Chains A and B, each alone.
Chain A
Amino acid sequence: MTAAPILTVSNLTVSVRGEEGEREVVSDLSFALQSGETLCIVGESGSGKSMTSLAIMALLPRPAARIKSGTIRLGDTELTALDEGRMRRIRGDRIAMIFQEPMTSLNPVLTIGRQLMEAIEAHTALPRNEARRKAIEALNAVRIPAAESRLKQYPHELSGGMRQRVMIAMALALQPDVLIADEPTTALDVTVQGEVLELLRDLQRENGTSVILITHDMGVVAEMADRVIIMRHGRMVETGRALDIFARPRADYTRELLAAVPRIGKGREGGAAGGATGFSSQPETSRNVAEVRDLHVRFDLHGGFFGRVDRRVHAVEGVSFSIAPGETLSLVGESGCGKSTTAKAIAGLVPYTGGIAINGRDLASLGAAGRKAARRDVQMIFQDPYASLDPRMRVGDLVAEPLVIHRIGDSDERQARVAALFERVGLSPEHMDRYPHEFSGGQRQRICIARALALRPKLIVADESVSALDVSVQARVLRLLKDLQREFGVAYLFISHDMAVVENISDRVAVMYLGQIVEMGTRDQVFSSPGHPYTKRLIEAVPVPEPALRRVRFARLDSEIPSAVRRVGDAPPKLRLQDIGGGHLVAA
């Protein structure tokens, strides 16, 4: 540990020039990275963690951002003094970087092999076939099966996890001294995240690479870090060994951050709202706010001769469930499992077959006007609050819009109601005149909640509604949702991939896999005694924010999750759910 650090950052200050003059996004940051260690830089959005990594790579967005003062030393080289040409030689060769979104950081029109070899040839004088051999070696190292044939594939032909592995292969092909990974697993599913993290750990052990891991996820930190830096508003709040930070956090902010992290097994004290505990899985049908029977959603894919339909995406395959007033049913699963499509079908955004009844009225039997009236009782909150608010409208008008559409009240009454809603979701009514971009992510999601509440719906469909928020904001929004449920008796259909959040808010949980429900039961049934292997895997994959409990080995799935795209006439077999006691349904 006493050897000279491989990378030293001292008194680094990065500033960004904006409309209101220069603003510091990283202030006076110092740290040293030892050889072979993993340093996690943790912080919420706007904490300056990504700017730090870009500063090290000399990739700060020009001309707005610049290093104002401070030094960055790689071994004996002062990086801030290097010109672009010399810096380029260091990038990739001695410091490599992995970005969050593997699809956007790979060039979609070049093959994997071409890109890998390009990275290698840029820094070495190896002949073509040597570079090729090295590329295959790199793909083997990140455990991509059939590496040689993969070289000819394009990025879109690979799954998200595979793409991120290619990125890692590219970064590690030249055996750099330092690897900077900026949120490398944030865009990936939990089970894939587990695999990628483990891969990173293995590779580090084999090559002795030093890793700077930038993340907002305390679970990932606990899993990976030797040392941790907590950042907030561009400043280092706390630093120390991972075990110490988790066991004895000194700064208030660290404590807050740790407290806000949703943990599996701790969701209970929040309590289920509306006395919904003790529900059996199949409550009586007449009073249910939503009743979904054998729901199918399939999308046709055109191809072949004259754009004939030759394949179909079987997004949702025979899903049935019901939601009682005031309860929260969560749909969990990984990307592509059909959970969002189910939500959209209920909200009337995609055509479906099967039955959806709202308040006992089957939507298929109603006319257009009746459907519109029935839909009033179902509102939706989307994942990205910014994308789901029209950026050209004032937020007050946005919240009033559902009232205008359904002709409720006159303009004064509406104004009063909107003001009350603003207050209820924790926003000041004075802000009704502003536009969505003037709010933070959490505030915007509150606006969306106010909007969904405006019509006093019986059911709110929340599609990954807290996934895009920082943990501390996420915790507050979840609390707000629970409070509102108690107050208005609204039921939630809560769609999420995050098992910890689901455990926190749900009364009942349904696990989806490839368009079908593989397990459904009360929260306790599903989390305490998961019956289906996929459920077990999902729960196991969640990183635990406790470095002492670090998983030894994560069971790797040998094959990828199969595709939901099938040829016409080749429908997937329907799973049969069996009651294993107390209404706990598990696919046989």
Chain B
Amino acid sequence: MTIPISPDVGAAATAIRPRTGVWRALLRRRLALLGLLVIVATIGAAILAPWLTPYDPNEQMFDGLTLEGAPLPPSAQFWLGTDLLGRDLATRILYGARTSLIIGIVANGAALLIGTLVGVTAGFFRGWIGGVLMRFTDLMMAFPALLLAICLAAILQPSLWIVALVIALVNWVQTARVLYTETSSLAEREFIDAERTLGAGTPRILFRHILPHLLPTIIVWGTLGISTTVLLEATLSYLGIGVQPPTASWGNIIFENQTYFQAAPWLVFFPGAAILALALAFNLVGDALRDVLDPTQRGQA
């Protein structure tokens, strides 16, 4: 039963494209590769901090201050200079990477998860469930995030994990709102109807057909969220309800030293640059990932 190929089969002759792995496609993009390197380097630095630096992050060194008690600028001994208490800045940034990565990845990841769950559930099922969820989201949005964080942190005993939890509970709102809109318009699309006529159940439609379409948005919000959460942690630290000193985090290094910005600019510049580099790296990888995962971007007919 061989039927001749119909004449409206246009450019039929080209061979099957090999299924390239996501990794390989990602590594082929130069910017994404750069971003990955920065992320790997940051993670490596956080893990290997004790071996990378001769100092202890909390050690207040006598030779770390000038005779007048001012911090030292970058030098051969202290690569990135020292802070107001004579601690080595490079060491504090290395150790601070641990805190900031946990906040940026765990807290942000949890926020993303909550946001996705709420947004997709509300957008797909709508009805009273959707109504309740979205009104709650609106309420959270209207409530000042910082005030909420302060309340939560005051009730719970501050520690790194509590700070991560607080940030997650504050930061899911935007994601939920955006995904709600997108899901409800996706659910109206004809191919979802087509799936239903095939007999596809709700889990299949949600996980196989709706979620893949939301992936680009989730990735964008996830990468944007990293810098937001790292900075939110810094704010909380500044208010005394974040990571407790002397534990270093990139955010609290900046806030501890911001008043001396003009006298000792390196104290703000280096941790700031670290936050920027990490956020940028995640953005680059996220962008590339979004393109690589989108099949409609390839081989436009």
| B212 adjacent to chain A (CB < 8 Å) | yes
CB distance from A386 to the nearest CB of B (A): 9
CB distance from A558 to the nearest CB of B (A): 36
| A379 adjacent to chain B (CB < 8 Å) | yes
| B12 adjacent to chain A (CB < 8 Å) | yes
* Interface residues contributed by chain A, number (CB under 8 Å): 50
Q: Is A428 touching B198 in the complex (CB atoms < 8 A)?
A: no
Q: Which of A344, A348, A392 is packed against the most chain B CB atoms within 10 Å?
A: A392
| B15 partner residues in chain A, CB cutoff 8 A | 430
| A439 partner residues in chain B, CB cutoff 8 A | 301
Question: Do A392 and B296 form a contact, CB below 8 Å, given A347-B197, A424-B3, A430-B16?
Answer: yes
- Chain B 190-212 interface mask (CB, 8 Å, partner A; 1/0): 11011111111100100011001
- Give the interface size bracket for B toward A: 35 or more
Q: Which of B3, B9, B190, B198 is packed against the most chain A CB atoms within 10 Å?
A: B198
CB distance from B125 to the nearest CB of A (A): 16
Inter-chain CA distance A388–B4, complex, in Å, is 26
Q: Is B209 touching A390 in the complex (CB atoms < 8 A)?
A: yes
| B157 adjacent to chain A (CB < 8 Å) | no
Taking a contact as CB atoms closer than 8 A, the residue among A375, A380, A442, A455 that contacts B194 in the complex is: A380
Taking a contact as CB atoms closer than 8 A, the residue among A401, A435, A476 that contacts B198 in the complex is: A401
Query: DSSP class of B's interface residues: helix, strand, loop or mixed?
Result: loop
Taking a contact as CB atoms closer than 8 A, the residue among A378, A440, A448 that contacts B301 in the complex is: A440
Q: Is B301 touching A437 in the complex (CB atoms < 8 A)?
A: yes
CB distance from A106 to the nearest CB of B (A): 23
| B19 adjacent to chain A (CB < 8 Å) | yes
Q: Is B10 touching A401 in the complex (CB atoms < 8 A)?
A: no
Q: Which of B212, B295, B300 is packed against the most chain A CB atoms within 10 Å?
A: B295
CB distance from A315 to the nearest CB of B (A): 16
Inter-chain CA distance A376–B197, complex, in Å, is 8
| A76 adjacent to chain B (CB < 8 Å) | no
| B196 partner residues in chain A, CB cutoff 8 A | 347-349
Q: Is B9 touching A427 in the complex (CB atoms < 8 A)?
A: yes
Inter-chain CA distance A380–B2, complex, in Å, is 26
Question: Do A388 and B298 form a contact, CB below 8 Å, given A402-B199, A446-B6?
Answer: no
> What are 22 A-B interface contacts by the 8 Å CB criterion?
A348-B197, A349-B196, A382-B194, A392-B294, A393-B208, A394-B295, A401-B195, A402-B198, A402-B199, A405-B198, A405-B200, A426-B3, A430-B16, A433-B16, A434-B299, A435-B295, A435-B296, A437-B296, A440-B10, A446-B6, A473-B8, A476-B8
Contact residues of A with B, CB < 8 Å?
18-19, 344, 347-349, 372, 375-376, 378-380, 382, 384, 387-394, 401-402, 405-406, 423-424, 426-428, 430-431, 433-435, 437-440, 442-443, 446, 448, 451, 455, 472-473, 476, 480
- Nearest first, the 9 A-B pairs at minimum CB distance are A426-B6, A387-B190, A442-B8, A388-B194, A438-B301, A380-B197, A347-B197, A402-B198, A435-B295
